[in-house]
Structure 1
């Protein structure tokens, strides 16, 4: 069996004496893994960097086998990222988030958002939207369209930490200390202040921790908190 596709490289790990297992997000195919023979050679070092856009050809005898990758660099980002710590941390975080997706399950919306995040100036609001989309595609999406208590769609200011549903200002008032703040840019148009960005990423972290990190017994990405500090500075 064989296929060829353009992909975002999201991870590489050693395999044997000279090979690596490469992990990539492929349009229409999702998160795919393959063995790259000789992947630890100096010739392939610049190509096999997470964040790069590559052309992959996957081959295997059977569809459920690991298979092998033949890989060609289309766009290298290492030189750009190494000089910009925010972009470097953002690229690392996005790649770690994509590791959470099930193997060989297409998630083209997230792939497009990930590439936009890595390609453009670091944007905390865009990162928060990406994490909301990640939760949604993992099956734990938040409902920010209407108030859980009253059904109104205006003046939504909080989120229930249990249900993930929005709550209006009036309904939230007696329970504010138990609810999570909902920055308005997540459900309505508008700019995001540094405080809004921090609140939004605190919101997504709560549900990632509740439904994903703790459930899978994995630690949150180590670059996430330093990146939030950078993105939420005035």
Structure 2
């Protein structure tokens, strides 16, 4: 018997037979994994497998390479029930789950990404701060998948000061002055992504979506002939509608 126990985040559930579902999760033990949930269509378990729900569970199988099943499932909080009054937060749950399903490899541990996702999901009840955290999460997703942006210094001058642009080709930053002549060809770098005491102002989150979206599509999705999940467009629309871009 092969088994592991740990924390996980529900990503998707699809019906399997009359009463069961196949649940995909991102786990702190093995990365993205799937397994049967017996009786998963029932009311008691259905709430546990909504995308974005934070879980503690056990996976078991006779052989490691088999599908296996999830057992002893307990909620650690999160999920749609916790953010029902914030349409943008609901959209964020769907977007996070959809992106993780599209870009993470199966059964490859990604502890840093799991922890960052867990933190983001807990922050979704904070309607003031989480949109900027979401952009940072996408930047971390890129880095975890091997395509981190270089925002440490200007690629043209070597200076770490007044960085304002990112090259869409190299993912390297440029200072405001050095990049100005090429502004129409560069992506805006919102200051809050540089750390320190920078807080996002109006328009910064929108610039963050444009910046991360470019590299997620080019580096993670296009090479495997995938497109950006529609859930991301719904998230951007919901944030714009409530003045949080």
Q: Give the TM-score taking structure 2 as reference length.
A: 0.88
Partner of 1:108: 111
Quick one: which of 193, 209, 213 aligns to 2:201? Answer: 193
Quick one: which of 216, 222, 227 aligns to 1:214? Answer: 222
Within 5 Å, give how 1:129-144 maps onto structure 2. 129-144=136-151
Partner of 1:83: 85
Within 5 Å, give how 1:34-73 maps onto structure 2. 34-73=35-74
1:223 aligns with 2:225: no
Confirm or deny: 8 A CA contact 1:194 1:231 kept in the other structure.
no
Confirm or deny: 8 A CA contact 2:98 2:231 kept in the other structure.
no
Distance 1:231 1:118 in 2: 16
How has the CA–CA distance of structure 1 residues 111 and 10 changed in structure 2, closer, same or farther, with 3 Å as cutoff? same
1:119 aligns with 2:127: no
Partner of 1:94: 96
Deviation per CA, 1:202-232: give whole Å up to 9, x if none: 1000001111222222232223233224435
Distance 2:173 2:28 in 1: 32
Distance 1:59 1:28 in 2: 13
Deviation per CA, 1:139-189: give whole Å up to 9, x if none: 111111111122111111111101111111222122111111111111132
5+ residue gaps, structure 2, are none
Aligned residues: 234
Distance 2:3 2:145 in 1: 28
Q: Which shows bigger deviation, 161-170 or 32-41? A: 32-41
How far off its partner does 1:127 sit? 0.9
Deviation per CA, 1:20-73: give whole Å up to 9, x if none: 111112113211111122322334222221222222211112222221111423
5+ residue gaps, structure 1, are none
Quick one: which of 141, 154, 170 aligns to 2:177? Answer: 170
Question: Which SS does the other structure have where 1:47 is aligned?
Answer: helix
Distance 1:174 1:54 in 2: 50
Confirm or deny: 8 A CA contact 1:11 1:50 kept in the other structure.
yes
Q: Give the TM-score taking structure 1 as reference length.
A: 0.92
Partner of 1:74: 75
Runs of 4+ in structure 1 off by over 6 angstroms are none
